[in-house]
Amino acid sequence: MKQFLLFISALLLSLPSAFGHVGSSGVLFQGQAGDYRVLVSVQPPDVIPGTAQITVYVESGRVSNMYARPIYFSSGDEGAPSPDELLPVDAQKNQYQGIVWLMEGGSSSVQIDLDGTQGKAELIVPIAAVSTAERDMPAGLGWTLSALGLLLVVLMVTIIGASVSDGLLRPGQQLSAKQRRKRLINMGIAFGVCVLILYGGSSWWDSWASDYKQYLYKPLQAKASIIQEDGQWIFEFKADTASLRANNRKNALNYLIPDHGKLMHLFLVRVPGLDAFAHLHPERADSTTFRAFLPALPAGKYLAYGDIVHYSGFTETITDTIDIPAAPASSLLQKRTDPEDTYVVTDPLNNPKNIPLDENVVICGQPGTKTKLKDGSYVIWEGKASQTFEAGKPYSLRFEVFAPDGTPAELQSYLGMPGHAAIVRSDGSVYIHLHPVGTYAMAAELTLKNRIADTSRTYQRAAAAVFRDSIDRQIAFLKTLSTEDRETYLMKEMGMSSGQTDDSQHTAAMNHGSSLSFPYAFPKAGSYRIFLQIKRNGTILTGVFDAKVIDSTTF
């Protein structure tokens, strides 16, 4: 057990892809582009500049032409390049593929234009593209280039030597001792010049590579801890200011924007069983510190994932591990930072056993089976009970919710969405916060659409103190609203309201009824746990499901 926990801690600290999620590269979008229903996959490169791979599945409607182009937050629509065509790869499935070049790192979006039987349409897919890797030259290519370089040096030295000696000879004449000496001297000079050129090129390349390392994405580092105040345990997430300064991001946390009305979404998952889960919304105590009242979670080692969104739409997940000690329930006042804070206890992953049942305990479900929720309603995850999933393949994870009497349940908006889901791999190396519209943050989509509407080529950001104050006032305003009014406000802001135009990208997710569908591609084989969260009759309900993922080459 101790070795496992040490491995988990080291794994979380070493993950290079902790922006917006952990271990799940790329973005999936599921929704409407005009009258076309589409599933879009965007796989950004891990080296910038680089190419993003785009795949579009047109699920309804027939498309004749499709184009895509990147739009960077820094330069907006006016500074965007011309679009590239996406070509059909499977006419029967109406599937299109192509690439776009990403020349800038950071927050950006891919604009996709479609034209077909239902007319023209457009959609925007947010992406975060940063350099997270270095490319090593293949050994074979390196030796080949070295041999060619050596050959060029020999040829150059030989040609220069011949030009200062042989060119002066008449047919049949031999070089004199003076001419041979002159030839050798000039060949030596030529060789020295070649060495200097090679040394200068090598130094330039090493300098460029060193500069590149400075721009490699480094996740924000934070320290999780538990403090006790007035008989209540408080979870504290404090960013490492030294890390911020080292990454030239000392003001980064002053430029956060709310996602679903919250500055941070914090998920706590107990390891190794993934049998305790909390979804909290810490409040900002200062520019680097977030705090939330801790619910009565069972003692143990927990993975902490804190999702934040920057003003540019760039999303990050701050990770850490924390030990939550045992304490008598009577010693805790059980306060909540936010009315949407919730937690649940369930049976351990791949190790079902009897557990104490109370109002916060649910039993984990499988595809194709009924999974009971704590209010007596239940969820059916569509699929066969023995279903396995292939790594890297996009799926629509579909859930149907029923009331205790078996009728379709009436779901309420929860943080402006029909539902949420968090997916965690057994070793913590994969984590993602999902919505029915895709794998990206809704705030990122909103801010990028606003940036595209802005015709200025350069974004002028406000002073840190001014920006932070404006966001704090927005958060304070949301707290003054009733739950119903706040949900209405958030739904409208994120394009989920019934008052949106018919070409809303989220029409399909808005008309959910009692069904929910989450697009996702499991990144690698292993055991996963899905925490589904919905709201009905004013109560937030959490269903827990297990998924088995195999390599795509496994049969």
State pLDDT tens for residues 257-316: 999 999 999 999 999 999 999 999 999 999 899 999 999 899 999 999 999 999 999 999
Say whether pLDDT at 462 is over 90.
Answer: no
The pLDDT > 70 percentage for the chain reads 87
Q: How many other C-beta atoms can be found within 10 angstroms of the C-beta atom of residue 169?
A: 12
Which comes out higher in pLDDT, residue 85 or 457? 85
pLDDT of residue 128: 86
Mean pLDDT score, 472-495: 90
Query: Hey, what are 170's tokens?
Result: 């008449």
| Distance of alpha carbon 168 from alpha carbon 79, whole angstroms | 59
Which pLDDT score is estimated for 492?
86
| Residue 16 clears pLDDT 50, i.e. is over it | no
Does the structure show a pLDDT above 90 at 341? Answer: yes
| Domain boundary assignment for the chain | 1-16+220-345, 17-133+446-493, 139-214
Q: Which of 434, 401, 421, 442 minimizes the C-alpha distance to 537?
A: 401
Q: pLDDT tens digit string along 49-96?
A: 899 999 999 988 889 999 999 999 988 888 889 999 999 987 667 899
Domains 1-16+220-345 and 17-133+446-493 share a fold: yes
Note the pLDDT tens digit of each residue in 202-222.
Answer: 888 788 777 777 777 887 888
Distance separating alpha carbons of residues 244 and 219, to the nearest angstrom? 10
User: pLDDT tens digits, residue range 377-419?
Assistant: 999 998 887 789 999 999 999 999 999 998 999 899 999 999 9
Q: What is the mean pLDDT of residues 23-42?
A: 89
| CB proximity list for 248: less than 8 A, separation 6 or greater | none
Report how far Cα 82 is from the mean position of its chain's Cα atoms: 26
Token pair in block for residue 382 = 């569509």
Q: Which residues of 354-363 are buried (b: 16+ CB within 10 A; e: fewer)?
A: eeeeeebebe
Distances (CA, A) of 59 to 110, 268, 282: 19, 36, 39
Q: CA torsion 457→461→462→468, rounded to 10°?
A: 150
Q: Distance of CA 200 to CAs 193, 205, 206, 207, 526, Å?
A: 10, 9, 10, 10, 48
C-alpha distances out from residue 522 to 383, 528, 536, Å: 16, 9, 29
* Residue 345, C-beta contacts closer than 8 angstroms, at least 6 positions apart: 275, 276, 277, 297, 298, 355, 358, 360, 361, 362
Instruction: State residue 78 phi and psi, 5-degree precision.
Output: -65, -30
Neighbours of 247 (CB within 10 A): 18
Distance separating alpha carbons of residues 512 and 495, to the nearest angstrom: 14
Which contiguous run of DSSP H or E holds residue 125? Answer: strand 119-129
| Chain mean pLDDT for the chain | 84
CA distance 59 to 35: 11
Instruction: Please state which of the four CATH numbers 1.20.1070, 3.30.420, 2.60.40, 2.40.30 is assigned to the domain occupying 1-16+220-345.
Output: 2.60.40
Has this prediction a pTM greater than 0.75?
yes
Mean pLDDT in residue range 10-34: 69
CATH number of 17-133+446-493: 2.60.40.10
- The pLDDT score that the predictor gives to residue 2 is 47
Cα–Cα distance for residue pair 235/238, rounded to 1 Å: 10
Contact residues for 347 (Cβ-Cβ < 8 A; gap 6+): 273, 275, 353, 355, 363, 364
* 400 Cβ neighbours under 8 A, 6+ residues apart: 379, 380, 382, 408, 514, 515, 516
Give per-residue pLDDT as tens, 109-150. Answer: 999 999 999 999 999 999 888 887 777 778 888 888 888 888
Whether residue 6 has pLDDT greater than 50: no
